[in-house]
Structure 1
Amino acid sequence: MKKTIWWLNPGVVFTFMIVPNVVIANHLSSNSFVNNWGTPKYLSKELFQVSIFSVLLFLIGSAFMVIVLKGIYDKRSIPRPQSIRRREKDYSFLMFFLNVSYLFTFFGYIYWFYVALTRGLSFSVLIGMLQGSKGAMYDLKHLFSTVSGITTFTQFGIVASILSVYVGLNYGWSKIKSKMIILLVITFFRAFFLSERLAALELVIPIIVCWLGIKAQSGLSGKTRVMVNLSPLIGLVVFAVYFSVSEYFRSWSNYYALKESSFIEFCVTRITGYYVTGLNNGSMLIDVFRKPLSFPYFTTTWLWDFPILGSYLDANKLTGVPSDFNFAGTLASMGNPEFNNPSGLFLPYIDFGHVGGFFFWLIAGMGCGFIYHLFSYNNIYGYLYYPIIFVGLLESPRVLYWSEGRAFPAWLLVFFISFFLFISSKHGLLSNNNSYRMRSGKMEGSLRKRYTSMEDF
C-alpha cells in the first residue's frame, strides 16, 4: 500500500513554489522592482500565462505517471510486507557506496581547506567574519574560491546524506553516525562562513525527505502525522530564520546596515527578491534570446562546467550563443548583478522555444511522477533519486538545479549505484527489497524474479 505525505508530492511542491512567486512578480509594478531590487520588470502578461501553463503541464505529467503506474501495480496485486529486513550482502553493498561517498566528500573538503591555507587563511579572518567585520566574508570567499575538478568532490555529500539515512533506518546507525555528524558540521561551517546557504540545504532537505519517506511506510501516529502535515509552515519559519541569520553576515553587516532602518523589513524584501527576481531575470533572458538555440546551453550547464571536457567544448559554436554574451554583464546592463538567479522555470524556453519548453515541463512532470511513485512505494531507487529531485523542485523559481554542475556529482554517483543495484538484482547477488518478512523473529522469503526491485513498479 502506498504511504507518503501530501507535501512530498512533486506536483504540490512545484505548484507551491512557482505559482505564488509568479503571481507576486506579475502583480508588482515596474517601480516596485526598481525601488526594491534595482531592476526593471521584464515579466510580461504572456510569460505569466506561460508560467501557469507550465505548472499545469507539470501537474498533468506527474499525475498521469502516478495514476498509470498505480493502476499497473494494483493490477499485478504485488504484496507489500510491513516489516522489511535485508541480507548482509545488501548491507555490505550499500555500505561500500556510502563509504565511497564519504571518502570523496571529505577528500574534497580537506583539499579545499589546504588550498585556502596556502592562500593565506588564518583565524583572524574567521574571527572577523564572526564579528561582522566589513569585507571579511568576501576575503573568505576569495580564499575558498573553488578549484576546478577538486572541490566538486564535496558535492558527493548529497549522496552520503541520503545513503546514511537509508542505511541508518534499515540497518542501524552505529557505523555511520559519527561520519554523518562530521559531514553536517563541516557543511554548516561552509554554509555560514562562505555564505553558501544552498550547501546546507542540499544535505538537510534530502535527509528530511528520505527520513519521512521511510518512516511513513511504517505509519505515523496521530500527533506525529499532524506535525508532519503542518511541517511546510514550520519549515518556512525555520528557513526564514536561517536566511535572515546568514544574510546578516552576508550583506547587512557589510553594506545595508548603513542604508536600511529595519533588519526585519530588509530580510522580508530580500528573501522575496531572490525568488521574484529569479523569475524576472529568466524573462529578461527570453527577451535577449528571441529564438531557440541550436543546442541546449542553459539546461546543460553541467556540461560546460565539466572538468577538463568543458574547456575543450566551444559552447558558443555548438549552441549559437553569441561569443560576447555574458550573464553577469547582461545583468549589469539590464538588471542587478546582486540578484543573479536565472530562473529554473524559464531556462528551457530559452533553449527549446515555447513549444519545446512546454514539452520539457510535461516530460519533467512525468519523470518526477515516476520517481515519486517508486519513492512512495518504498523502492530503493526512489529513495536514491527523489530527495535530489525534491531539492530541484524547491529551487525551481531561482535555478534549474537538476542540470547544474553542483548537482552533477550526486546524479553521477546515484546512476552508478542504480546500475550496480540493477545488475546485482538481475543476477541474484542482492536480496529482493520486498521479499523478506519478519515472522516470529525469523526471516522468511523467496526471491521471485518478477519482483526484482527494478521491475517492481
Structure 2
Amino acid sequence: MDRPSPPRAAGRVTVVTAPVRRRGGTWWISPVGALALVVPITLLLTARLDDNAFRLFYRSPKSVTGETLLLIAVTVLVLGATAAVTASLAPSGKRRLVRTPGVVPRRLYSAGQALFWLTMVGYLLYFAVGASNGLRPADVFNAVFSQSNYSGDLKEQLSGVAGITTLTQVGIAFVIVATYLLLQGRDRRLAAQLGFVFFLSLLRSFIASERLALVEVSVPVIVVLVLAGGRSLRRGKRAAARLAPLVLAPLLFLLFAAFEFSRSWQFFKTRTDESFPVFALIRLAGYYATSYNNGQLHLVHDPYPGRMPLDSIAAFWSAPGIAQLGLYDRLSAPAPVTAQNVLERFGNPEFNNPGGVTTPFVDFGLLGGFLFFVLCGVVIGLLYRGFVDGSPMGALLYPMVVTGLFDLPRYLYWTQGRVVPAVVCLVAVALYVGRPVGVSRQPLPRRRFPAPPAAVGNRVPEAVR
C-alpha cells in the first residue's frame, strides 16, 4: 500500500513514516555477546592459574578467591540480562541518524568537520606540552627505530594538562561520525582525515605507552562497520560480520605483541627462557588474570570507614578544577596504612588494572555494587536499542559502550575522565542532528553527494539534515 502524500507547511517538509519492523544487530556487538566473548574465558583462565603460576609469570601471589570469581560471573550475568531485557522492551525512536540511505545528512557532515578540527587542536596542544617538557622529534624517531620504549621517559614528557590535552579524546567522536558518513558515500577528504586521526592515535599509543588510545578509536569503527555488514544484502558480508571475531582475535594478539616487543620484551628478553610469542601470550593473559587478582586486593584492603567512592565516579574527581583542588583527599577519610600502596604491598604495580567488575563493590558495597550494574544495564540496553534502530543518540554513543564492555574485566572504562570529551561531543551531535529542520537553505557540503530523490512510488523524500 502506498503511503499518503506528506502534508506540507510553509518552507518545511513533514515526514510521515510507517512503523518499522525491529531489527537486531550482529550477535557479538550486542551487550550479551560482547561480554560473552571476553568474560568467561578470562575467568576460567584465572581460576585455572595457581599461586605458583602467578608468582612465576606475574611476580605476585594469587589472592583472588573462588567466591570473588563467582561474584564477578553473577554480576556480569546481571549486567547482560538487564541490558538485554531493557533493549527488548524499549520503544523505538522516531528519528534516525541517517534518514535516507545513500544521502549524507548535512548537519552530520558539518558536525564531523567540527569534531576533526577540535581533535587537531587537542593533538597540537598535546605535542606542544611534550615539546615544552623536552620531547624532541629525534627522541620519537629513536624510540620507533630502536623498538625500545620500556623506560617510560616519553610518556612522562607527554603528561597532559587536564581539560586541554584531553581534547585529543574528541577523536573518538570524530571516527564514529566519519564512519557513518563514509558508509553513505565516498569522500576522499573525509577518508584522509579519518586515516590521519588513526595515525595520530597509533603514534600516541606507542610513544606514550597508551595502547588504549588506539583501541578506543578502533573498536567503535569496527562496531559500526559490523552492524552495516550484518545488514548487507550480500551473504558474504553478513557472514563476515558474524565471524569477524575469528579474524579480529588473532589481529588483537599481533597488535598487543607488537607493542610488547618495544616495551616489556626489551627488559625481559634477557631474563626469560620463553620465546617472544609465548612471552606475549603470557603477558596478554596476565592483564586479565592480574586485574581479577587486583580486584580481590582492593575488595579486601580499600573499604574503610569514611571512604568516599573513587573509581566508580573517577570522571568527577579528575575533572578540571576538582582535580587541582584535591577535592577527594579533602572530603574522604584518610586511608589507613593497610589501604595505602596496596599493589606494592600485596601485588605487582607493573600490572595495575584495578578490575572493572569489582570496582563498584569496593565503592558502594555489595548491594550498591549490584544496583550500580543494574543501572548500567538499563542505560546500555537503551543505547543498544537506539543503535540497532539508528536513532541519533544510540547510534553515536553505543559504539563507545562496546569498548567498555570488552575492557570490563580490566577496569571501568565508562566512568573515566578520558571518555567525557567524546561523550559530551556525541551527545551534542545527536541533539543537533536530531532536531527537526526545513529543507530550505540546506545545501549539501559536497556536489558529489546527490540531493534526495523526488518521491517515487511509495517513497517519501526526507529532509536533508
- Cα distance change, pair 242–133 in 1 and its aligned pair in 2 (3 A): closer
- Alpha-carbon distance between aligned partners in 2 of 1:213 and 1:392, rounded to the nearest angstrom: 18
SS in 1 for 2:319: coil
Q: What is the Cα deviation at residue 446 of structure 1?
A: 6.7
- Alpha-carbon distance between aligned partners in 1 of 2:102 and 2:350, rounded to the nearest angstrom: 50
Which residue in 1 is equivalent to 2:146? Answer: 132
- Cα distance change, pair 245–134 in 1 and its aligned pair in 2 (3 A): closer
Matches within 5 A, 1:33-112: 33-69=54-90, 72=91, 84-85=100-101, 90-91=105-106, 93-112=107-126
Q: What is the Cα deviation at residue 135 of structure 1?
A: 5.8
Q: What is the Cα deviation at residue 3 of structure 1?
A: 4.3
Are positions 1:142 and 2:156 aligned together?
yes
Q: Could you list the runs of 5+ residues in structure 1 that have no partner in the other structure? A: 448-452
- Cα distance change, pair 205–135 in 1 and its aligned pair in 2 (3 A): closer
Look up the equivalent residue of 1:348 and give its one-letter code.
Answer: P
Are positions 1:298 and 2:314 aligned together?
no
SS in 2 for 1:361: helix
Bigger mean CA deviation after superposition, 292-301 or 363-372:
292-301
- Cα distance change, pair 114–64 in 1 and its aligned pair in 2 (3 A): same
Are positions 1:391 and 2:407 aligned together?
no
Look up the equivalent residue of 1:206 and give its one-letter code.
Answer: P
- Cα distance change, pair 263–215 in 1 and its aligned pair in 2 (3 A): closer
- Alpha-carbon distance between aligned partners in 2 of 1:14 and 1:320, rounded to the nearest angstrom: 35
- Alpha-carbon distance between aligned partners in 1 of 2:84 and 2:330, rounded to the nearest angstrom: 39
SS in 1 for 2:417: coil
Look up the equivalent residue of 1:120 and give its one-letter code.
Answer: G
SS in 1 for 2:350: coil
Q: What is the Cα deviation at residue 317 of structure 1?
A: 4.4
Q: Could you list the runs of 5+ residues in structure 2 that have no partner in the other structure? A: 1-20, 443-451
Percent identity, please: 26
Q: CA contact under 8 A between 2:25 and 2:230: conserved in structure 1? A: yes
- Alpha-carbon distance between aligned partners in 1 of 2:215 and 2:327, rounded to the nearest angstrom: 33
- Cα distance change, pair 79–407 in 1 and its aligned pair in 2 (3 A): closer
Which residue in 2 is equivalent to 1:251? Answer: 264
Which residue in 2 is equivalent to 1:444? Answer: 460
Q: CA contact under 8 A between 1:372 and 1:382: conserved in structure 2? A: yes
Q: What is the Cα deviation at residue 108 of structure 1?
A: 1.4
Q: What is the Cα deviation at residue 438 of structure 1?
A: 7.3
- Cα distance change, pair 297–377 in 1 and its aligned pair in 2 (3 A): same
Look up the equivalent residue of 2:261 and give its one-letter code.
Answer: Y
Q: What is the Cα deviation at residue 223 of structure 1?
A: 2.1
Q: What is the Cα deviation at residue 247 of structure 1?
A: 0.3
Q: What is the Cα deviation at residue 192 of structure 1?
A: 2.2
- Cα distance change, pair 188–326 in 1 and its aligned pair in 2 (3 A): farther
Q: CA contact under 8 A between 2:95 and 2:392: conserved in structure 1? A: no
SS in 2 for 1:275: helix
Look up the equivalent residue of 1:21 and give its one-letter code.
Answer: T
Q: What is the Cα deviation at residue 105 of structure 1?
A: 1.1
- Cα distance change, pair 9–292 in 1 and its aligned pair in 2 (3 A): farther
Q: CA contact under 8 A between 1:213 and 1:375: conserved in structure 2? A: no
Which residue in 2 is equivalent to 1:30? Answer: 51
Q: CA contact under 8 A between 2:150 and 2:262: conserved in structure 1? A: no
Q: CA contact under 8 A between 1:137 and 1:193: conserved in structure 2? A: no
Q: CA contact under 8 A between 2:149 and 2:263: conserved in structure 1? A: no
- Alpha-carbon distance between aligned partners in 2 of 1:41 and 1:299, rounded to the nearest angstrom: 25
Look up the equivalent residue of 2:100 and give its one-letter code.
Answer: I
Q: In structure 2, which of residues 425, 433, 440 is the aligned counterpart of residue 413 of structure 1? A: 425
Are positions 1:20 and 2:41 aligned together?
yes
- Alpha-carbon distance between aligned partners in 2 of 1:65 and 1:269, rounded to the nearest angstrom: 38
Which residue in 2 is equivalent to 1:223? Answer: 236
- Alpha-carbon distance between aligned partners in 2 of 1:186 and 1:380, rounded to the nearest angstrom: 27
Are positions 1:364 and 2:376 aligned together?
yes
Q: In structure 1, which of residues 373, 385, 391 is the aligned counterpart of residue 385 of structure 2? A: 373
- Cα distance change, pair 438–229 in 1 and its aligned pair in 2 (3 A): farther
Are positions 1:165 and 2:179 aligned together?
yes
Which residue in 1 is equivalent to 2:205? Answer: 191
- Cα distance change, pair 135–41 in 1 and its aligned pair in 2 (3 A): same
Look up the equivalent residue of 1:355 and give its one-letter code.
Answer: L
Look up the equivalent residue of 1:397 and give its one-letter code.
Answer: P
Q: CA contact under 8 A between 2:360 and 2:372: conserved in structure 1? A: yes
- Alpha-carbon distance between aligned partners in 1 of 2:432 and 2:380, rounded to the nearest angstrom: 22
Q: What is the Cα deviation at residue 178 of structure 1?
A: 2.0
- Alpha-carbon distance between aligned partners in 2 of 1:79 and 1:409, rounded to the nearest angstrom: 24
Which residue in 2 is equivalent to 1:450? Answer: none
- Cα distance change, pair 276–16 in 1 and its aligned pair in 2 (3 A): same
Q: What is the Cα deviation at residue 437 of structure 1?
A: 8.2
Q: What is the Cα deviation at residue 79 of structure 1?
A: 12
Which residue in 1 is equivalent to 2:191? Answer: 177
Summarize deviations over 1:325-346 as a string: whole Å, max 9, x none. 887x221111101001001111
Q: What is the Cα deviation at residue 251 of structure 1?
A: 1.2
SS in 2 for 1:146: coil
State the TM-score, normalizing by the size of structure 1: 0.86
Summarize deviations over 1:194-219 as a string: whole Å, max 9, x none. 222111111111111122223434x2
Q: What is the Cα deviation at residue 318 of structure 1?
A: 3.3
- Cα distance change, pair 234–419 in 1 and its aligned pair in 2 (3 A): same
Q: CA contact under 8 A between 1:301 and 1:403: conserved in structure 2? A: yes
Q: What is the Cα deviation at residue 176 of structure 1?
A: 1.4
Bigger mean CA deviation after superposition, 171-180 or 266-275:
171-180
SS in 1 for 2:460: strand
Q: CA contact under 8 A between 1:83 and 1:437: conserved in structure 2? A: no
- Cα distance change, pair 277–164 in 1 and its aligned pair in 2 (3 A): same
Q: What is the Cα deviation at residue 320 of structure 1?
A: 4.0
Look up the equivalent residue of 1:388 and give its one-letter code.
Answer: M
Bigger mean CA deviation after superposition, 174-183 or 38-47:
174-183
Are positions 1:307 and 2:320 aligned together?
yes
**RMSD, aligned α-carbons:** 3.1
State the TM-score, normalizing by the size of structure 2: 0.84
